[in-house]
Structures are given as structure tokens and as C-alpha cells.
Structure 1
Amino acid sequence: MAANKSKGQSSLALHKVIMVGSGGVGKSALTLQFMYDEFVEDYEPTKADSYRKKVVLDGEEVQIDILDTAGQEDYAAIRDNYFRSGEGFLLVFSITEHESFTATAEFREQILRVKAEEDKIPLLVVGNKSDLEERRQVPVEEARSKAEEWGVQYVETSAKTRANVDKLWKPHRKSRNMPHLKKNQGDSLSLELWMWISWMGCRVGGLRGHLPSPAGPA
């Protein structure tokens, strides 16, 4: 019986998602909130932690493999290997630290460099710690403008209150007749929509006009 269960689990489609961003922006907190419905404020950074969870996409179970990478430069040498294995990326910064927002451009360039041979690179920009509005250093419009420049979607989250956490992962219903964007215009508006498309076997990266407007403060 155990062998059959293992065989069934291994047959599920697997999608690898990489959490990227500076240290202390809440990548681990977002991941743990999604995995366990729990807010972990103090977390000891490691090179990378991997998590796996089943989700239902259009009535079928698939597995998401989440790689939570450290933001410290000490681990930069091994980051490229992680990026090569990723199918989609969550580019995370803290709305309370403008420097972390500025760093997203460098992280994006690293991803594009490592994945240069791929036409489409699914990416979602995430402004975390929306519960700390009084300490905001990154205006919503500034972050949204940068995301639009890259041709991707921007969403604000709070790992503490769980605001918009599920929006990062849970799939939307099917969308049809979706236009394509070239790589230099951006790659994906929504990770959850990309996951559905990837699951269907279509490597489409840039999609516009079929999703809700990017989220502002929670």
C-alpha cells in the first residue's frame, strides 16, 4: 500500500518556484505562512530551504516545489545553480526598505543572465510587509511602475497577517485566447496563471489583460 501511495505521489506534475530577494525581506516568512498557516518572525538564514506542497489546478493535483534562497552575498556563488533549476520566480522586497526594492533589479538581471537561453521566464514582483504601512519607504506606484516596465505583475503581501499570501500561489480558472509578449517586454503577469499554463504543457511567458489589477496595500 505504501509503495502504491509513493508511486502516485511521484507521478504528480512538479513545478519548481524560486523565492528571490535581499536578506530580511520576509521570503521565509511568506513561504512558511503558505506552507503551515503560521507566522515565523525570527528565522535563521541558510543557503536555501526547500518545501513541497500539493495544490489543485483546474481539478487536478500538482506539486509546487518552493526553494527559499538566502539573500546574503555569502551565498551568491551558489545562487546561479538554484536559478537554473527554477521554472518560476517570486522576486521579493520589503516595502519598509527601499534598498531591498532597488536590489530587485540586480536579482532580475541575474535571473535573466542564468536563464538567457529560455524565451519565457515567469516572474512576479512581491512587496512584503504591507502590515507596516507607517514605515513604508517604497510607494505603491513606484513599485507598480517598475513591474509594468518589466511587463510583470506586482502584488503586496503580509506574511504576518497572511494578506495576499494565497494570491501568490493559488490558481485562477482557465483563461483562453491570451496574447504573447516578447521576452524583452517581460515574461509573466502571474505565477499562478503561469503554473496552470505550464501544467497544460504550454511554455507561455507573457500574458496581459486577463487578470485582476495588481494589488496595492492590504
Structure 2
Amino acid sequence: MSMKRIVMLGSGGVGKSAITVQLVSGHFVQIYDPTIEDSYRTNISVDGETVLLDLLDTAGQDEYSALRDQYMRSGDGYVIVYSITSMASFLEANSFREQLFRVLEKDFSEHIPIALCGNKCDLESERQVFTEDAKKVADDWKILFYETSAKNKTNR
């Protein structure tokens, strides 16, 4: 069985932990408790093969950016999470992308497996980031794009 490490990146409070815990244990974490670093493992099936997924849930706060460099070096893939209810978190997504390319010593023409994930789509009435705008950014960056709700277990 192969193992893949996925590093969750994004600003504080966007739902990185909620997405991770929902995927691994199937329940929604309602209360925000800022993460420094948590690692979760679960088996998933990819193209009929079982893969051990090691999810590294990282701190979104700036004071932990040095730790984030270390986490970034260890990843096989990356999910940059923002909240659809926070334009600031969406704008900060590019900073996480730039930091990732800098840490991995890559230029933007090189491929790194990244997904941009807009979380909290259950809060549609509070939306500040339009799906079309985020999709355009993901297309420009040549990465995957999803919107999700860790609370409602939905992806689109």
C-alpha cells in the first residue's frame, strides 16, 4: 500500500481542521480551536488501489509560517483552503501558493499537485467569494478547484 501526504494550507478559521476531521472520522467540528499541527491518517481507494492518506493539518496564523515551510517540504500534494465567507482568506490563498513554490524551489511553470478549496459553502447567504472568480484563479494557476462544506459533507 502506498502512502501520500497531503498538506492542508490556508488562513486561520477557514475550516482546514473541519475538512480533515470530516474526511477521517465523519463528524463535523463545530468549535474553532486554532491548530499548530495535527496529523491524521485514513485509507482511501484510488482507481481500485488502497492508499494510506496522511493529512497534515497546519496552522493558518502568520506566527507559524516557519513551521509551515517544514510541512510544505514533506508533502506529496497540497490543498489551499479559503472560506467563501471571507474575501481576505481568498486573497491570502495566493500567499500560501507563493510560499509553497518558494519553499519547494520551483517556478510557477512547474507542476505541483495543488487543489484550491472554497469551504463553508453551506453559508451561501454570507458568501463573499463568487465561485466563478475562484474557478478562474484556479484555472489561471492550472490547479484543481472545489467548493465544499465540511459541515454538510458536500463537494462540488
Whether the TM-score (by the shorter chain) exceeds 0.5 is yes
Question: Residues 21-170 of structure 1: matches in 2 within 5 Å?
Answer: 21-117=10-106, 119-164=110-155
Quote how far apart the aligned CAs of 1:55 are: 1.2
Given residue 55 of structure 2, which amino acid in structure 1 is its aligned partner? I
List structure 1 segments (4+ residues) > 4 angstroms apart after TM superposition: none
Instruction: Give me the identity figure in percent.
Output: 48
Q: For 1:43 and 1:96, locate their aligned partners in 2 and report how far apart those are by CA, in whole Å.
A: 15
Quote how far apart the aligned CAs of 1:82 are: 0.3
Which blocks of at least 5 consecutive residues in structure 1 are unaligned? 1-11, 165-214
Which blocks of at least 5 consecutive residues in structure 2 are unaligned? none
Given residue 120 of structure 1, which amino acid in structure 2 is its aligned partner? H
Question: Which residue in 2 is equivalent to 1:176?
Answer: none
Question: Which residue in 2 is equivalent to 1:170?
Answer: none
Given residue 71 of structure 1, which amino acid in structure 2 is its aligned partner? G
Q: Deviations over 1:88-137 (max 9, x none)?
A: 00010000000000000000000011112594310000000000000000
Q: For 1:154 and 1:90, locate their aligned partners in 2 and report how far apart those are by CA, in whole Å.
A: 10
Quote how far apart the aligned CAs of 1:37 are: 1.0
Richer in strand (by share) = 2
Q: For 1:143 and 1:69, locate their aligned partners in 2 and report how far apart those are by CA, in whole Å.
A: 22
**Partners of 1:17 and 1:88 within 8 A in 2:** yes
**Partners of 2:13 and 2:32 within 8 A in 1:** no
Given residue 26 of structure 1, which amino acid in structure 2 is its aligned partner? G
**Partners of 1:20 and 1:68 within 8 A in 2:** yes
**Partners of 1:46 and 1:70 within 8 A in 2:** yes
Question: Which residue in 2 is equivalent to 1:185?
Answer: none
Question: Which residue in 2 is equivalent to 1:196?
Answer: none
Given residue 22 of structure 1, which amino acid in structure 2 is its aligned partner? S
**Partners of 1:97 and 1:138 within 8 A in 2:** yes
Quote how far apart the aligned CAs of 1:41 are: 1.2
Quote how far apart the aligned CAs of 1:24 are: 0.2
Query: What TM-score, normalized by structure 1, do the two folds share?
Result: 0.68
Q: For 1:59 and 1:139, locate their aligned partners in 2 and report how far apart those are by CA, in whole Å.
A: 35
Q: Deviations over 1:154-213 (max 9, x none)?
A: 11000110101xxxxxxxxxxxxxxxxxxxxxxxxxxxxxxxxxxxxxxxxxxxxxxxxx
Query: What TM-score, normalized by structure 2, do the two folds share?
Result: 0.94
- Please give the secondary structure, in 2, of the residue aligned with 1:157: strand
